Amino acid sequence: MKHSTKHQGLLAAAVAAALLQTSLTTQAGLFKIDFGSLENERAPVDASDNPLTDANGIPLGPQPLLLDWNVIPNWTFADPNANVAPDSASVLGVASADGTSVTWKLKDVSVTPNNNVTLTMLDNRTLAEKLSSDAPPYMLGQTGNNPTKEGRDVVYDGVRVPGIVKDDYLYRNPDTDGSETLMRIANLDPGTYNVTVFEGRTTDGKRTGKVWVDDIKGLKEPASENTGNYAGKNDAGDVLLDGQPRTVTVKVNAGEYLWFAEMEDNSGGISGMVIRSVIDPADSKGLFKLDFGELENERVTKITNANKDQAGEDASAPPPLTDWNVIPTWTFADPNSNVTAGSASIKGTANADATAVTWNLTDFSKDANKNVTVTMLNNVAQNEANSFPPALGQSANNPTKEGIAVMYDGILVPASVKDDYMYRNPDTDRSETLMRFAGLNPGKYKVTVFEGRTTDAFRAGKVWVDDIKGLKEPADQNTGNFAGKNDAGDVLPLGQPRTVVVDVKAGEYLWFAEMEDNSGGISGMIIRGVPAAPSAVSLLSSAALGGAFSAVTGASVDAAAKTITIPAPTSSSFYRLSGASKVSISTSGANLVFKYE
């Protein structure tokens, strides 16, 4: 009987594996929402508002149809689809029976789309009634506008945003100051998401909103805005042609909703929103955040309105950093002379001959690896070959102060980190400062470098993995330009971080060469461990062919051999192999072995 039961279980396994293979689902998601259809459907005109024509004098048509954005045109609760043009990219909405909300189904343009996500818009009626108890300005819908047309494509949180998305927007109807449009996003897969909001209009002084996670009622709305200003002007009134998107990172659990409150101020609105799934930084297999330069961290409140334009939009002292390794101005002779007591700056240790300084780094991931160090030293061979003076250390500088916090590789980078930097002392053109990272756990890492200074045309470096001597340094830079200006000379207030992925094996070191060009330096570096990709297959079992399937516990997956091994069942069982094809089954002792492709 025992043998017969095993045989029946094996036969059932074979049938189920052959018939019930399913596609793999992974936590992912990319939802791009374009608020406003005016620019999408507008025929191009010149500065005098005359239609542009082709070589034959025929007027040009609208921009190519957007295929990967969810476009929401002007709408009302009474008729949400009155402005949905035929064959356009605009999506249809469905009003609730009582006419108090409209729901749109959103397209997920990730590689593993979730087709169940919806956006519901509704009024914050409680707030409207507080604004006027006699005649509450209840929301009727949203209306589009496009007073400025920069026509510039940009990249926000790694996602390309066409000019036709950025250059128009929707605002609440009526646009009563102090009112809100509530947006509820349902059915997101559990995970961590970046929520990026932006307004392209460059004549609007300030736009803010609230992002939070809640149940279907949304009663945990924050008391005040938490996005920061995402208008096309900064707080100093400077026009930002590329905008200033703001990103908030949230964690959504099963059954929870993502909420956004678009805060009306009787001027402007919201142009777009990007919801992108990311890995929770704390779940990284190692997270080391280095801030080069202490000037902005330790700046005191002394900027006045008179010099605010020169000093940047942040006129107050920044809050103390608690989760960055700050390296202040240092020398080989005295690495700690600029470490201020009670600050976030960390102390370094010089070697006996004062040719290297080593700092112990804090790992801000859950791994909490306490063995990682960075050692800075001269490139002696390069100095001798070119008669360069040896480096004495590094000095900090902060000539531009944009005051904008940014997101790089899913990590929040405060303005106080981005707005200052360190350079080699002396800053001899073509010399280098070498950085050697020891003690990293084996695995893949993303190495992101950046400079916030917006008056420096070009910064580059070299990233590689080597032994302790570092003699395999690349001949040329491999980061690309990470300065605050692009190669065309355009100022980039949000910076242009560059990321290189490396694979560190046991006993190896991560190296970085900061290449000096007598201008600028490096503001920061993020070293983030990339979690190993989950197995592309999973094994589910059920006691009945039509029953509920659940994950098999105790399964041993060998991704290299493409096998899954489990103890043979003691009763008839059905198995479903997800994410695999061409499955074969064999026995090995008291085990079942599933072989797949």
**What CA–CA distance (Å, rounded) separates 121 from 129?**
18
Same domain, 260 and 304: no
Q: Give the pLDDT confidence score for residue 424 in this predicted structure.
A: 97
Choose one of 259, 278, 297: the last residue of a domain.
278
Count the Cβ atoms, other than its own, within 10 Å of residue 309: 11
225, 210 in Cβ contact below 8 A?
yes
Of 344, 330, 440, the residue nearest 376 (C-alpha): 330
Whether 184 contacts 195, CB under 8 Å: no
Is the CB of residue 574 less than 8 Å from the CB of residue 515? no
The pLDDT of residue 305: 42
Mark which of 499, 530, 561 sits at the end of a domain: 530
Question: Same domain for 358 and 227?
Answer: no
pLDDT at 110: 78
pTM (predicted TM-score): 0.61
Q: What pLDDT is recorded for position 15?
A: 33
Looking at the structure, do residues 341 and 292 belong to the same domain, yes or no?
yes
Q: Residue 147: which residues within 8 A CB-CB, separation 6 or more?
A: 201, 203
Please tell me the distance from the alpha carbon of residue 426 to that of residue 395, in angstroms, as a whole number: 9
Q: Kindly state the DSSP code that residue 110 receives in the 8-state scheme.
A: S
- What one-letter code names the amino acid at 120? T
User: Does residue 227 sit in the same domain as residue 301?
Assistant: no
DSSP β-bridge partners for residue 539: 577
Distance CA 445, CA 512 (A): 13
In this structure, the answer to whether residues 244 and 309 fall within a common structural domain is no
CA distances from 469 to 50, 371, 436, 472, 508 (A): 65, 19, 9, 9, 10
**Do 310 and 445 belong to one domain?**
yes
Q: Are residues 158 and 34 in the same domain?
A: yes
State how far the Cα of 384 lies from the Cα of 390, in Å rounded to an integer: 9
Total domains in the chain come to: 3
Q: What is the rounded distance in angstroms from the CA atom of residue 483 to the CA atom of residue 498?
A: 9
Question: In this structure, are 171 and 315 located in the same domain?
Answer: no
* Beta carbons of 247 and 260 less than 8 angstroms apart: no
pLDDT in tens, the chain (597 residues): 222 333 333 333 333 333 333 332 333 688 999 999 998 888 777 667 777 777 788 877 777 778 789 999 999 999 999 999 988 899 999 999 999 999 999 998 876 788 999 999 999 999 999 999 999 999 999 999 988 888 888 878 877 788 899 999 999 999 999 999 999 999 999 889 999 999 999 998 899 999 999 999 999 999 999 999 999 998 888 888 889 999 999 999 999 999 999 999 998 999 999 999 887 777 788 999 999 999 988 876 444 444 444 444 344 566 678 899 999 999 999 999 999 988 899 999 999 999 999 999 999 998 899 999 999 999 999 999 999 999 999 999 988 877 777 778 878 788 889 999 999 999 999 999 999 999 999 999 999 999 999 998 899 999 999 999 999 999 999 999 999 998 888 888 888 999 999 999 999 999 999 999 998 999 999 999 987 655 567 788 888 776 677 777 777 777 667 788 888 787 778 877 776 667 778 777 677 888 887
523 and 576 in a common domain: no
Domain hosting residue 365, numbered range: 283-530
Same domain, 152 and 184: yes
355 in the same domain as 219: no
What confidence score (pLDDT) does residue 447 get? 96
444 plus 542 within the same structural domain:
no
Helix intervals (H) in 120-215 = 125-131, 163-166
End residue of a domain, out of 263, 278, 293: 278
Residues 6+ apart with CB under 8 A from 12: 545, 572, 573, 574, 575
Strand ranges in 400-523 using DSSP code E only, listed in sequence order = 406-408, 411-413, 421-425, 432-438, 443-450, 461-466, 498-504, 509-515
**Where is 11: in which H helix or E strand?**
helix 2-19
- What pLDDT, on a 0 to 100 scale, did the predictor assign at position 572? 79
- Please give the structure tokens belonging to residue 342: 């009670």
Q: What is the pLDDT of residue 560?
A: 63
pLDDT of residue 242: 87
